[in-house]
Amino acid sequence: MRLNQLLLLLAIIAVAGCANKQKEAPVEQTTLSGLKKSDFQSVVNGDSTNLYVLTNANGVEVTLTNYGGRIVSVMVPDRDGNMKDVVLGFNKIDDYVNVNNNFGATIGRYGNRIAKGKITVDGVEYQLPQNNFGHTLHGGPQGFDKKVFKAEQINNQTVVFTYLSKDGEANFPGNLDVKVTMTLTDDNAIDLQYEATTDKETVVNLTNHSYFNLNGDGNSNILNDSLTIHADSFTPVDETFMTSGEISPVEGTPMDFRTPTAIGARIENDYAQLKNGKGYDHNWVLNTKGDVTQVAATVYSPVTGIQLDVYTVEPGMQVYTGNFLDGSVTGKNGAVYAKRNAICLETQKYPDSPNKPDWPSPYLKPGEKYSSRCIYKFSVK
Q: What is the identity of the amino acid at 289?
A: K
Residue ranges of domains in the chain:
37-380
Alpha helices, H only, 50-205: 93-98
- pLDDT tens across 167-198, in order? 999 999 999 999 999 999 999 999 999 999 99
Cα–Cα distance, 380 to 254 (Å, whole number) = 27
Is 104 within 8 Å of 72 (Cβ atoms)?
yes
CA 206 vs CA 33, 69, 351: distances in Å? 27, 11, 12
Cα Rg of the chain (Å, integer): 23
**Helix, strand or coil, per DSSP, at residue 206:** coil
Cα–Cα distance, 203 to 368 (Å, whole number) = 12
Is 231 within 8 Å of 285 (Cβ atoms)?
yes
Note the Cα 155 to chain centre separation in Å: 21
Question: Which residues participate in catalysis according to the annotation?
Answer: 209, 346
pLDDT tens, the chain, 381 aa long: 455 555 555 555 555 555 554 456 678 999 999 999 999 999 999 999 999 999 999 999 999 999 999 999 999 999 999 999 999 999 999 999 999 999 999 999 999 999 999 999 999 999 999 999 999 999 999 999 999 999 999 999 999 999 999 999 999 999 999 999 999 999 999 999 999 999 999 999 999 999 999 999 999 999 999 999 999 999 999 999 999 999 999 999 999 999 999 999 999 999 999 999 999 999 999 999 999 999 999 999 999 999 999 999 999 999 999 999 999 999 999 999 999 999 999 999 999 999 999 999 999 999 999 999 999 999 999
Q: What is the identity of the amino acid at 196?
A: A
Instruction: Name the CATH architecture for the domain at 37-380.
Output: Distorted Sandwich (2.70)
- pLDDT tens across 195-231, in order? 999 999 999 999 999 999 999 999 999 999 999 999 9
Cα–Cα distance, 114 to 347 (Å, whole number) = 16
- Return phi, psi of residue 83, to 5°: -80, 130
How many other C-beta atoms are found inside a 10 Å radius of the C-beta of residue 346? 24
